[in-house]
Chain A
């Protein structure tokens, strides 16, 4: 190890149980009336599926999410066979049919809940790296690595940091310790505890989170060095001081969930606090126009960038755009306008409410946009002077690594952070009182279902588990730093581009027809 390599200071890991009493696991264990509460199953199971407390003799509902399922049959602690009363049964959880979708499958959701709880990769046989989408990341694999290249390094000595300022323009050199930062979720769309919890996690992980377009709650001030101020078309809650607070300002030209459309906050979510923050009227729906009506050209865009740089001489500027056909031209234009970061937001992502027609149909998926922009910036000779960040449909640690190998320096994560705090992706973020699970809501009753501390630790745990996967990939390829992986698309294969024989050596693309 080079003497200059700093050991990564990993945040403290604390197991954080789910908020709800009945967790959802891949398997269900049923205990029938023959159970005499002898406690033998509790003694047997090393995974803690059968909790038992002193001085409480009655059987307790099994922690099914911890059960490793039928693969346990080989073990001499398989509770189903060993129960002296034969009171236990095991089966696949039928509820999985109703959980998740093609992109975020039930197993991917459950896997991420487990990571957020324990900071470890699940021991249950869950496929949390691939979905059923049948394309893009779900068909891209890392090539089989040469075992001779394996580098035996502990995680702490592997560098997963990203430099955000590559311009060498006298502004701060900002480095984040993981290749992810939090996507914009506005005050108004998301519960305050979630917003602040994300900021706390960003601070502990030495990364960033983003205000979204809803203004800057003062509760974020203790974490200001890790909070990006988003400047979007509605300019809701944007004031000079919120630009001065920020280490980075993000111009949101467009977003992947609704490319070419403005944001929309339904009237129900415009509570007195939200209205005050956004300087609007309580109960009135808020629309952000699309696009910036002050920008007609790259020159106008440069004026925007210069304006923010003038207000805050230390701030870095990120430009968030969607993925149209000419996204490569937009990216290079952003570079010449003075941006430090160009942030591509692909079409399949997004956390907030958006028209279904927009999410599905407008703009290209991020898997195509990353290499398109990366290669164009390289051809223009400016790739090493700008940080390329990708988002939109990047779901898990492997998607992050694949994005980096395709050409991104890092990624922005939104949905996975919400999944870490037990979002089930029911999609009802916008309706009525908002999220029934207390995540994407401003409803006073629902908003208290979460606490900042709980959100913080769940997110820290999830990223800690992800980091283990990144370190593992880097070790396989003999790399010490994630920076070495940037643009290494030669390390990737796509199943549809392989001969049948070679394709068979890779994990197949999971196929499942879902009822959606």
Chain B
């Protein structure tokens, strides 16, 4: 039996109570007192169990965090003293892209390693901006290649960051004439990088690096963050270097399996020097996702580069644009331009910026990415609330500046990625696709809002008069 990729998830409870969506409030002046029917005793989730302890320690009451919104206390209290509000902290959590429910689910996944599951159907908008205006397809009837025959554990989620192998050439004696460069395969289609301008310290870096090692993936790291403590994780680190300063980092380059260079017009000139220092190294070029992104990709694809890493802003928007396009459209743009120039098969494309959920990973791949790079979710796994107080020099509500236990931190990331991996497999399994590599650019396995409207509503309602999502 071939080895199966397995992510060792294990419960890693939060250090601080996560911010819950609802808060149960009670008007105690109306309480009859000593009521034998007190609904607090009946709560099936036991959210009031430690009520009094919290009062005595002047903590925030736990029912700000754990209410499951069943309304039974509200509806059964004999005096009707209960009501509910949206937790004020929850209201201010996140923003339009990093929504409160996204952060809440990321915390849950980092805690449990499980896929978020709920009943009662979907309760969100019909369609929304960004990734929420496309749906993934599924297959009703089995095909011989699908997971139903082979088992889900055999669905491959691997991708490479080393250059693709072109068709092999053989000598007359059937010996290999092609030169095959080392293959750097990552078993899950994502890499890590630390978010900019948020708290990063040694314990956070070690946690993330260790998680990358456990998962078999890699973390892009800035040279100033690459301390001796991280040397044991060198195989899973990708130093991100300015192209004109590779000679300052010779040892790091020699100890790495991949290196990332910031884009400049003459970045390709350094590739020879890099390969001289470390012949097997995979070269990634980091390119801003802006109007020039596709054309730069086409030019670089003609060089000896292995992978292009395009970065959008943290909300997934195009950089340096007055009317920025979303990363989904930008991925299509870059992917198709490379397809058009017959160079897409030679290199790998990875994208970062705004990748917030497992579905974003799957949809990015459908749009044409080989993989994605995640940043903010790493800190969210450590309970970060994206409040950005740290950017103003204020204290962190979950004390990240004090450091974290790397074992706990690592497990939280492993859990989060375990849940994402399971979700990717769910989506791929539904589509009947056995390899993440086959999903790349497979827009035929997706459905887009504009197309569905035109195909199904167009013949009934005629010309759509509202632009965008309506």
Contact = CB atoms under 8 A, between A and B. Distances in A.
Interface of A: 20-24, 61, 94-95, 97-104, 132-136, 138-139, 253-254, 257, 259-261, 264, 289-293, 295-298, 301, 321-322, 324-327, 330, 347-365, 367-369, 371-372, 375, 392-393, 406, 415, 418, 423-433, 435-437, 440, 446, 489-490, 492-500, 503, 515-516
B70 interface: yes
B358 A357 contact: yes
Contacts of A498: 465
A361 B136 contact: yes
B137 A353 contact: no
Contacts of A293: 142, 148-149
A486 to B, nearest CB: 14
Contacts of B470: 134-135, 139, 495-496
Contacts of A364: 135, 447, 452
Interface of B: 21-22, 44-45, 68-72, 74-78, 80, 83-86, 90-91, 100-101, 105, 115-127, 132, 135-144, 148-149, 357-359, 362-363, 423, 426-427, 429-432, 444, 447, 452-453, 455-457, 459-466, 469-470
Indicate the member of A103, A259, A325, A500 with the most B CB atoms within 10 Å: A325
A440 B466 CA distance: 41
B44 A433 contact: yes
A56 B362 CA distance: 64
A371 B460 CA distance: 9
B459 A375 contact: yes
A295 B142 contact: yes
B429 A260 contact: yes
Contacts of B44: 432-433, 436, 446
Nearest to B119: A429
A426 B70 contact: yes
Given A259-B430, A372-B456, A436-B45, A496 B466 contact: yes
A321 B141 CA distance: 10
A489 B457 CA distance: 10
Given A260-B432, A428-B69, 8 more contacts: A21-B75, A97-B85, A102-B125, A257-B121, A427-B119, A428-B118, A498-B465, A516-B21
Contacts, number: 286
A421 to B, nearest CB: 13
B141 A301 contact: yes
Nearest to B78: A21
A471 B288 CA distance: 60
A497 B465 contact: yes
Contacts of A61: 80
Given A94-B85, A102-B125, A293-B148, A355 B430 contact: no
Contacts of B462: 497
B83 A134 contact: no
Contacts of B117: 264, 353-356, 430
16 contacts: A22-B74, A22-B77, A102-B125, A253-B140, A348-B126, A353-B117, A356-B115, A360-B132, A362-B135, A362-B427, A363-B136, A371-B460, A424-B69, A426-B69, A496-B453, A500-B465
Contacts of B127: 134-135
* A253, A356, A426, most chain B CB atoms within 10 A: A356
A155 to B, nearest CB: 29
B118 A515 contact: no
Nearest to B148: A291
A98 B69 contact: yes
Contacts of A406: 460
A361 B70 CA distance: 26
A51 B80 CA distance: 16
B239 to A, nearest CB: 34
Given A259-B430, A494-B461, A292 B138 contact: no
A497 B464 contact: yes
A362 B121 contact: no
B40 to A, nearest CB: 14
Contact of A101 (B123, B138, B149, B358): B123
Nearest to A323: B138
A23 B74 CA distance: 9
Contacts of B357: 357
The CB with the most chain B CB atoms within 10 A, among A61, A357, A428, A433, is that of A357
Contacts of A259: 138, 430
B429 A133 contact: no
Nearest to B86: A515
